[in-house]
Amino acid sequence: MNTDIDLSDVQGNILRGYRFPDVRHYALSVTDVAGGKQLLTALVDGHGDLYPLATAEEWSDDKPDACVNLAITAPGLTALGVPDDMLKQFPASFRAGAAQQAVDSAASSDFGRNGVGLGDIGESAPVNWVVGGPSNPEIHLLVSIWSDETSAPARDRIEAALLAVCAANGVKERSRHTGHTFANNHVHFGFRDGVSQPQVAGRPGNRIADMQPDVPTGDFLLGKGYRNSYGGNFIEGIPGELAGNGTYAVFRILEQDVQAFDALIERTGRRFGIDPELVAAKLVGRWRSGESLAMRPNEPRLFAPARLPDGQPNLAPDKVDMSKPFTPVDEAELNEFDYAPTYDHPMQYDDADGLRCPLGAHMRRLNPRGGTAAGIQHNHRIIRRGVPYGPEHRPGDPDDREERGLLGIFICGDIANQFEFLQMMWANDDVGTPGVLGTRDPIIGWQPPEGGTFRLPTGDNRGDVVISDLPRLVTTRGALYCFMPGIAGVKWLAGR
Ligand code: HEM
């Protein structure tokens, strides 16, 4: 099994997060094969102020002030001249694309059993999307510029250079999507995000403390002799020169209803006599600080208690020092846990009943770790590179009717087995073990019009507190299934 990765061939945001606070994604259409290839050449080599694609190589000197990445849809491969018989070697989900998979998965009983599929129905249906839907222009490329616009603005000049190359080569900008991270990497709803990521075998950088084993390289990178969790390689029949060191990226624009989240935790807290902050933590599986309920079931420790001395919820970053970086000791606290004893950690507390972290909590459903979800052990990990969009909204702020949410990038070597499995089965399917039976993911799941259900075991004489008026909190506003080639693959596509 090969875990020796040629980092100069792997696009940079796959194996590590850049930790840039700003991102802008450009959805582009190629109108002419030769022009598309010219753009790829400019992206590989750099062109004036357009930086060459960032790779996974360690930064030898200072961190650059920006990084550029490229992802390509299935129609994009065709627009760049990839012949049909080669395209057919790519997996069916990728070729069908996000919108078609949304429709097919909801219509087919092969995907889950409740007519929801990926969950992109109703308001979230592709017909309502701003990108990637049937009423939007066909998108071929997604170019992303990651930067820090506050301390080292770089985007304007890179953008101008990118758009000039596009204009000179018949590549049209169809939409742009701008995100900005809030202090200490917290996202709308007020939680620190990007805390847990799979540790990919062979990736550079320090290994952070985590009770989970490393994930095989082949779950995230194609070809090159890597092995995936099933002992094979997701590249299958795709030529290695195109797909080696490539992977897939699912781009999703997920609108978040922050008012509805705040109202939900307040009214649930009032109704059942539970601190709303504990309700919030139970829905996600971590406290806002990022601490897992599996380790700190009663109150968070890193920042401050959930309530200030005046009784007000201790949520707002101006009251809690959310900008304070975690020390390495703090970081070690965040992922060194499991929900069940495992072979490697036989003494681990067994939270089989979800008394600490409910079985239905967002992060437990989507990564049950050593426990199980719906009786299944997991090998469905994804790398998440999401950044919030829209203005920050703090609890108690009046409803400003602004749209806000997450520009999500979900990276995996197999869209069907990783992203779609999570979205269809663990987030949106209502069959499963007793703790999740009849429920869907409280954060990202579709919920029935009468309100969804969430079980919060208390372990006292109240038994399970059952929340039965869960609104749908996240609505899909757009999506693209993309392939992220390695650098050699981009060159190959450019005809070099
Ligand atoms: C607006 C939408 C979303 C929000 C607000 C959100 C929020 C969060 C938060 C706060 C965490 C805990 C922090 C962490 O462990 O890094 C988390 C973890 C996670 N989320 Fe989401 N998420 C969203 C969408 C999604 C989607 C669409 C997926 C996949 C289909 C997903 C999969 C995961 C996974 C796998 C974890 C890590 C669990 C672990 O490794 O323990 N999330 N999410």
CA 363 to centroid of ligand 1, rounded, Å: 6
| pLDDT (0 to 100) of residue 309 | 45
DSSP letters along 124-158, please?
Answer: GSGGG-SBSSTTSPPP-EEEEEEEBTTTB--HHHH
**What average pLDDT does the chain have?**
90
Q: Is the CB of 465 under 6 A from ligand 1?
A: no
Atom 38 of ligand 1: nearest residue by CA position: 363
List the structure tokens of 74.
């299935």
Residue 174 has pLDDT above 80, yes or no: yes
Where does 320-440 have alpha helices with state H?
328-335, 362-366
Q: Are 253 and 432 in contact (CB under 8 A)?
A: no
Q: Which of 118, 185, 189, 196 to mutate to test the pocket of ligand 1 (most atoms within 8 A of CB)?
A: 196
| pLDDT (0 to 100) of residue 342 | 85
Residue 470 has pLDDT above 90, yes or no: yes
Q: Is the CB of 111 under 6 A from ligand 1?
A: no
List the structure tokens of 171.
């590549």
Residue 369 has pLDDT above 50, yes or no: yes
Q: How confident is the model at residue 115 (pLDDT cuts 50, 70, 90)?
A: confident
What gap in Å lies between CA 215 and CA 221, rounded to an integer?
A: 11
| pLDDT (0 to 100) of residue 319 | 39
Q: Which of 193, 256, 364 to mutate to test the pocket of ligand 1 (most atoms within 8 A of CB)?
A: 193
List the structure tokens of 240.
């290695």
Q: State the amino acid at position 24 in one-letter form.
A: R
Q: Is the CB of 443 under 6 A from ligand 1?
A: yes
Q: What whole-number percentage of the chain has pLDDT above 70?
A: 90
Q: Hey, how many other C-beta atoms are within 10 angstroms of the C-beta on 244?
A: 23
Atom 31 of ligand 1: nearest residue by CA position: 366
Q: Is the CB of 284 under 6 A from ligand 1?
A: yes
Q: Which of 366, 389, 421, 476 to mutate to test the pocket of ligand 1 (most atoms within 8 A of CB)?
A: 366
pLDDT by residue (tens digit) across 250-270? 999 999 999 999 999 999 999
* Opening angle at CA 428, ends 427 and 434, nearest 5: 80
Q: Are 370 and 339 in contact (CB under 8 A)?
A: yes
Residue 300 has pLDDT above 80, yes or no: no
Atom 32 of ligand 1: nearest residue by CA position: 366
Sort 106 into a burial class: Cβ within 10 Å, 0-12 / 13-18 / 19+. buried
Q: Which of 116, 331, 362 to mutate to test the pocket of ligand 1 (most atoms within 8 A of CB)?
A: 362
Which atom of ligand 1 is nearest to 422's Cα?
30
| pLDDT (0 to 100) of residue 186 | 86
What gap in Å lies between CA 452 and CA 472, rounded to an integer?
A: 8
Atom 17 of ligand 1: nearest residue by CA position: 363
List the structure tokens of 453.
């259900």
Q: How confident is the model at residue 435 (pLDDT cuts 50, 70, 90)?
A: confident
| pLDDT (0 to 100) of residue 315 | 43
Q: Is the CB of 94 under 6 A from ligand 1?
A: no
Atom 13 of ligand 1: nearest residue by CA position: 193
CA 281 to centroid of ligand 1, rounded, Å: 13
CA 362 to centroid of ligand 1, rounded, Å: 7
| pLDDT (0 to 100) of residue 330 | 64
